Structure 1
Amino acid sequence: MTLNNQTVLLTGASGGIGSALAHRLALAGARLLLQGRDRTRLNRLLAELPHTERHRVLAADLLNPEERRALVQQVRQLGGLDVLIHNAGTSRFAWLTDQSAAAVTEQLALNLTVPVLLTRELLPWLRRPGVILNMGSAYGAIGYPGYSVYCAGKAGLRGFSEALGRELAGSGLAVLYFAPRATRTEFNSPATVELNAALGNHTDSPEWVAEQALIALQRRQKRRWLGWPECLLVRLNALFPGLLDRALARQQATIARFAGHSPDKEIPS
């Protein structure tokens, strides 16, 4: 699909991948509505984009129903969307027993519940033909120790993308699931960076990930996984999960150490 003069809502625009993707979309000629929680960072991003006058920013916390409604109202004022990109997300590298109930709830809400609700609220305002692009993760298909809650959210987003795409078959709306692997952004905690270095895990630049996301969007690829051996591991985990069980069991002590986990810790409230 061509993106020239297409209206695109990008959530989580002020983050690493979001910012890089905003630049790619703007260069492709899209008209952007950029959502994030930090108004200062959004304004800075806006000032860096070509054709600044074509774009809008909206600082909103998507976990707040009133601020989410304000975002929907902005879309109505624009007259609708051609592309909806769910990029906002969060993660916490920690054993489940080391996370508070609030931390668990926030991750599941932002990574899964918010995209589902926002899609539901915006479906009447998506023009046909149009695209919904859900930014997932390799961890949406590979359960990884230290990311149990994040994996749950992204696996749910993958299932939602697949089911909604089938619901909308023949409607002119395509639903895409795009799954990067580890990316070098501030999204990762220092402990995550150290773990990836210790285990030799490959990471990608946000600029490269954004370029691949744009290609997936333009080609309307329903499913796209990034990185090697992650693409292979996704398939192996689907067919032979026991192989990954054994491989990750050998790394468990190292992962737990970087996650700061001790079996003697009390479960936080």
Structure 2
Amino acid sequence: MTQLRDTTIWITGASSGIGEALALKAAESGAKLVLSARREAELQRVRTACADPSKVAVLPLDLLAFDGGDAVAKAEACFGPIDVLVNNAGISQRSRLVDTSMEVYRQLMELDFFAPVALTRALVPGMRTRKRGHIVMISSIAGRIGAPQRTGYSAAKFALAGFTEAARAELWRDGVRFTAVYPGYVRTQISVNAVKGDGRANGVTDHNIAGGISAEDCADDIWDAVETNQEEVMMGGKEVFYERLKRYAPQLFSFALKRSTPKA
């Protein structure tokens, strides 16, 4: 089992939402934390809110422009080797295929897929040497269901799911564990910060997001999955049912999905 107490945990996207909730919960459990995001002031706010700020370090990081090896060296300079990496940083999308620029598609893939791959790749050698380590990949239900107006986001999250499954199969003998997390609708700023087809922020909260589960409940489920070494965990409401429907009745699922999609 992966215990949180006295474990060194690195969380990306820790300045708000699920990342912030994960940090606060882990701090309550006695973990040492390295918090990363672009907004240093917000990271400092989260650090101050943690149970013991002296066990929390802030490492500002732009995951669209960074060096994985350098980032890992800075993170491990805080409290020593990283035991658990939570790849939580990411951005969503709210635009149709025909309205989305290739620049936006590349941004989505860079942040939602290539950045977590780069951090994982940089950390794994040390974990293999120590014969222990845990990588937590925050994917999405959109990484299991091709959600309309999220073609790039779904593509990146599907890719992340495949990478995680393959990496788990390669590295389990070396003591490196992987937990893939598939949240559904969670009450965060994800839809506000989502990119439109031209790269502008969406700026509004979807009604599905507004009616989702809390970030705190999501964080509880994630840490429970990590501590019990679950390989996958999914949380949410009706969207979890849709994932099951796709698996067991794919034609019915396709029929329903197409008819739930607004016309252009």
Fold conserved between structures, TM > 0.5 = yes
Query: Aligned ranges for residues 100-179 of structure 1 at < 5 Å?
Result: 100-126=101-127, 127-179=130-182
Instruction: Give the corresponding residue for 2:189.
Output: 186
Please name the residue that 1:266 is paired with: none
1:48 CA displacement: 0.9
Q: Distance in 2 between matches of 1:186 and 1:228?
A: 18
Measure, in 2, the Cα distance between the counterparts of 1:98 and 1:144: 16
For the pair 1:38 / 2:39, whether they are aligned, the reply is yes
| Matched residue count | 251
1:239 deviates by: 3.7
Q: Which amino acid aligns with 2:44?
A: N
Give CA deviations for 1:195-242 in whole Å, capped at 9, x if unaligned.
538xxx951111111111111111110011112333332233134322
Where structure 1 has 5 or more consecutive residues not aligned to the other structure, the ranges are 257-261, 263-269
Partner of 1:267: none
Cα offsets for 1:43-102 (capped at 9, x unmatched): 111111111111101111011134x44421113424311111100010111112212222
List, as ranges, runs of 4+ consecutive aligned residues in structure 1 with deviation greater than 6 Å: none
1:6: how far off? 0.4
**SS of aligned partner of 1:174:** strand
| Counterpart code for 1:47 | T
Whole-Å Cα distance in 2 between the matches of residues 79 and 196 of structure 1? 40
AA in 1 matched with 2:154: C
Measured in 2, the distance between the counterparts of 1:236 and 1:218 equals 29
Output the CA distance in 2 between the equivalents of 1:15 and 1:161.
Answer: 24
Residue aligning to 1:217: 226
Report which stretch shifted further, 135-144 or 226-235: 226-235
Q: C-alpha separation between the residues in 2 aligned to 1:60 and 1:194?
A: 28
CA contact (8 A) 2:187 2:212 kept: yes
Q: Percent identity?
A: 33
Q: For residue 65 of structure 1, give the secondary structure of its aligned residue in structure 2.
A: coil
Over the residues paired in the alignment, what is the CA RMSD in angstroms? 1.9
8 Å CA contact 1:82–1:128 kept in 2: the answer is no
**SS at structure 1 position matched to 2:172:** coil
Please give the residue correspondences for 1:9-88 in structure 2 after superposition, counting only pairs within 5 Å: 9-66=10-67, 68-77=68-77, 78-88=79-89
**Structure 1 stretch 225-234 or stretch 175-184: which is displaced more?**
225-234
Contact 1:165 1:175 in 2 (8 A): yes
1:75–1:125 Cα contact (<8 Å) kept: no
TM-score (norm 1): 0.87
Change (3 A) 1:93 1:12: same
SS in 2 for 1:188: helix
The aligned residue for residue 6 of structure 2 is 5
Name the CA shift for 1:43/1:185 in 2 (closer, same or farther; >3 Å).
same
CA distance in 1, matches of 2:8, 2:131: 12
TM-score by length of 2: 0.89
Counterpart contact for 2:11–2:85, Cα < 8 Å: yes
Contact kept, 8 Å, 1:182 with 1:202, in 2: the verdict is yes
Residues of 2 paired with 1:64 and 1:179: CA distance?
26
Q: Which amino acid aligns with 2:23?
A: A
Native 8 Å contact 2:86 2:135 kept in 1? yes
| Deviation, structure 1 residue 173 | 1.2
